Structures are given as C-alpha cells and as structure tokens.
Structure 1
C-alpha cells in the first residue's frame, strides 16, 4: 500500500456519524458563490468567457444522515461549467450528476449562476458605440425528471413622468400668456426666439433612471436568447440608457423621452405586452422600479404572464 493510500484510509470522516438528537430532513444543502469561469452565448454566436458565482444545492431527505458530499458538488461544477458553453442540456446533466453522486440522500437539485455579460450598443445618432454590461442570472432545478430553467436580467432606462410633463406644459402656457398679450398680433420669429430662450422653458418634467428586472422561463431549449430579450424590452420602452453620447445623441435621447412619457404602470404594461408576444417564453415575471427624483421613495409595479402554477406577483 502506498503512503498516499494509507493516509487517505486513515483520514477521519465525522460526517458519516449520525446525530439522532438532531435528526431531520433539510430542504437544501450546498454551497453559494462558488467562483468559476463560464462560457456564455447570448444568442449572437459570440461566446464570452466570464467570471461567475455559482450556487449548487441538493436536498437532504434522509433525517438519519448528518450531511451531504459538498466536494462532489464543487468538483462537478468546476469540471462542467469551466470547460463547456452553457446550455439547458448541460445544466440538466449537471443536476443529474448532483443526484447520481448522492445516492439515496437527495431527490432534488438546483444550481444558480450569476455573472455580467457585455453587449455592444450603437449610439442613437452618431456613428459611435459602446459597451453595456447586463447582469445575468440563470437558475435551474431538477426534481425527479421535472427540469425547470429560468433566465434573468435587468434593463436600465429613463422614465419621464406624464403628470409632471402636463404640469410643466401648463406653466409654459402661462408664461407665454404673460409674455405675449392677447390683443397684440404674434410675430412668428418672436415666438421662435421665445421658444429657444429660457423664458420659453420655465418648467421641465422630472425624469429618473429606472430599472426593469426580468425573469423568464423559456418554452423550449433554443439557447439563451439574452440579446433578443433585451432588444424586445428596450424597444418597448423606447428610452434605454446610452453608452457613447455626442450632442446629437443627447438630443435624440431627449426626443425619445418626450415621446415616451410613462408611469411605472405604463412601463410594466409595455414590457408585459412585448413579452406576451414572444412565443418562446412559457412564463415571465417583471418588476419595474422608477427611482424617483421627486421624492425619496420609488414607484414600483409588477407584472407576469399569469399562467397557472407560474409566477406570483408578490412584492
């Protein structure tokens, strides 16, 4: 017998010793924030390698067993995710490996993966472009043969308040009435000059950076269509935040905000309608948050597809 085999044989393993006074089944046992590289294709054919944090868990259904084999979960995560592109099939096989390595200890497994994905976005008017970082979360679970997969991300956009816009327009009208007497004919050039002056914009509506948090469940395995999802949501809102911005881009952004006034309810419904039209999604959950500039609390709305047994709109 080699020295290595002799040492391994003598290593103590206290996890095999049951503690009858602490017996009980556990919902989930495992590890969070495992650091590992992943390979991810967002749907454009460009597979990016990035650093991820992974959670790996199984249930412990045997009340007489003290613990699970965490090192087995870790090694499977490291060997699988660091060497192959992420796919639904890969994650299902990984979860099946979790259960196979735990014999009669577990009958449920789950994995969560979080990382950021860079997408190049064009400017609104100029010929420039820049990178946007989108957070990605992937969660998968396996119970017997029931496999569930979820993709999550966030879209940041600008929201201009419709009520504030209406109040601002009223103040501009009032200022116009004061500056131009009703009994004097109005000169077009004078009005144009007034509109381009500070007097012509005595009030502006408030706008704020806003966030749409998305969770979707694909209806079938056709890859992680992250960019398609982002494009669909950003187009429905009309005012996603920009990267490279020249003056012509900023002016175009101001125009987009003026043409897309929205309360948080409006934003949630826009996204809801856009995702309802996507036949590739079995279900989805939306949370929009308008981080108000008017007051210190935020305006929030939730929406979902509403399928039976799907997401509940619980804050």
Structure 2
C-alpha cells in the first residue's frame, strides 16, 4: 500500500513535535507506603519530523505503548521513550504520563482516614544520547491572607491555593516527598475528610500561619533547594482568591549549582 506519510512535504519545514495526546491506559507506580499503586494514565507521545516528510505514522505510537508493561520505573520508562524514537525513526522522542496518585491520610484531630488524590506527571525526553525525566505534582493547600488578617477586626479571607512543582533529579525522589513539601508551604494542608474537631484544628492552624502566594512559592522552593537529589525545579503557586475577581500567582525556576 502507498505510504503517504513518507512522501515529500508540500512545505519543507521541520516539525519539532508531532504525535498523539490523551491516550488512556492502566499504570502501576511506586508507592512509598504500599510498594505499588495501580492507577490510570493519560499519555502524550511525540517525536520530531524532518522537513522532507509529509507526516508521521501515528499507529506506531500506540504500538510502542502496547509493547510497554505499564510499570512506571526508570528503566522501563526509558525503554518506552527509546522505543517510540526507534519505531518512528526519529532523532528525538517525548513521552508525558499524567495520572492521579492516591495517598491515604489521617484527619489532623479525629484521625479519621480518607484518600487524597494528587495530579502527578512524569515526562521523559530522549534527545540524542541524553535521557531526562521531569517529575511533577499539583497539590492543593489552604492559605490565609496576612494583610487581611492584620487589618481586619474579625477574621481574614482564606482560599485554596494550588502548588505546582516540577523537578529533575539524580537518584530517586518520591511523589510523597514533593506532596509533603507543598503541603508544608501553605497555611494548612487540605483534607478529603474533616470532622468538626478537624475543621477547628485546620482553621486555627491556618490562621496561626498566614501566607501570601509569594510565601508559598518561596517555601516550596526552599524545600527543593535543600533536597540533595533535586538538580532543577520549577514551582508555581496559584491562589484562587475568595474576595477578588482574579487569581494571584508566583513562580520560581532554578537550576541548582
């Protein structure tokens, strides 16, 4: 059958990334408490395309995924990205895996147990002989405005803030480590289950620890700076303001010396 994709392109411009997005499949990830955790991934796969080719062979991306065992560890993930590059006869390959990660949490006062889910990302990039993994998490926290607390006779405005952190590292970094860092950067962690005594505890703890979005992003960055394995990081804190018709945000990106 005629291979249209390999025919000459009408416009001779190389494409940096071409591929497929949002393909779902089962995934197994490492869990610090239980060893392994089964979840569901949404995967994006891409390669570069030289200027002389009209298109890429989309089915080969799915074939590469079908040859993968779905275990998200360093060696297996590297083989997946390398397999994508080989099958597509490309120079560079990129695979991003997004998935919910669940941590069983105890409420702070009652001790009631519940599952918290966190949006996580693992990105693999293979360029030449260089393979790079970027690990990411999104963690909700509560923040209390220091300014509002200082100028108000009663209370202060509070809101949910999302801490988005990505890092590259040597060795190994647990998702739980990044989640704990992010939760420690806000006024209080967010919980799935709160009894009345827990609400009291969280409210009082948060009001005793007010913070701007700038404080949150600096706190997260400080924790990543102190982590011996992290070599690069990008952090953003976005506050969904409760009394303003906008969001507030701050970001820091650093390559560690």
Give TM class, smaller chain: over 0.9
CA distance in 1, matches of 2:145, 2:23: 42
Gaps of at least 5 residues in structure 1 are 1-10, 172-202, 309-315
Match of 1:122 among 106, 113, 136: 106
Query: Could you report, residue by residue, the CA deviation over 1:276-313 in whole angstroms, capped at 9, with x for unpaired residues?
Result: 111111111111112111211122111133448xxxxx
Contact 2:187 2:210 survives alignment (8 Å) = no
The yes-or-no answer on 1:16 pairing with 2:2 is no
Are 2:48 and 1:59 equivalent residues in the alignment?
yes
Partner of 1:180 in structure 2?
none
User: Match of 1:66, SS?
Assistant: coil
Residue 212 (structure 1) aligned to one of 160, 163, 166: 163
User: Matches of 1:84 and 1:53 in 2, distance apart?
Assistant: 12
State whether structure 2 residue 82 is matched by structure 1 residue 90: no
> Structure 1 CA distance, aligned partners of 2:42 and 2:197?
40
Displacement after TM superposition at 1:238 (Å): 4.8
Residue 78 (structure 1) shift: 2.5
Q: Does 1:267 align with 2:213?
A: no
- Structure 1 residue 45, shift from structure 2 partner: 4.0
**Mapping for residues 128-277 of structure 1, pairs under 5 Å:** 128-168=112-152, 171=153, 203-220=154-171, 222=172, 225-277=174-226
- Aligned equivalent of 1:4: none
Q: Distance in 1 between matches of 2:5 and 2:224?
A: 48
Equivalent pair of 2:85/2:91 in contact (CA under 8 Å): yes
Q: How many pairs are equivalent?
A: 257
**Could you list the per-position Cα deviations for residues 24-66 of structure 1 after superposition, in whole angstroms to 9, with x for gaps in the alignment?**
32111111111211111143343222221111111012x2222
- RMSD between aligned residues: 1.7
Distance 1:88 1:142 in 2: 13
Looking at secondary structure, tell me which structure has more strand per residue: 2
The structure with more radius of gyration: 1
Residue number among 70, 75, 78 corresponding to 2:63 in the alignment: 75
Deviation by residue 1:246-290 (Cα, 9 ceiling, x = unmatched): 121111111211221111111111111111111111111111112
- Asked whether the 8 Å contact 2:48–2:91 carries over to 1, the reply is yes
For residues 75-107 of structure 1, give each alpha carbon's deviation from its aligned partner in whole angstroms, at most 9, with x where no partner exists.
111320xx242012212111211222233xx21
- Counterparts of 1:225 and 1:211 in 2: how far apart (Å)? 19
- The runs of at least 4 consecutive aligned structure 1 residues that moved more than 6 Å come to none
Q: TM-score with structure 2 length normalisation?
A: 0.93
Structure 1 length as normaliser, TM-score?
Answer: 0.77
- SS in structure 2 opposite 1:228? helix
Q: Is 2:252 the partner of 1:303?
A: yes
Partner SS state of residue 118, structure 2: strand
Aligned to 2:231, which of 279, 282, 285? 282
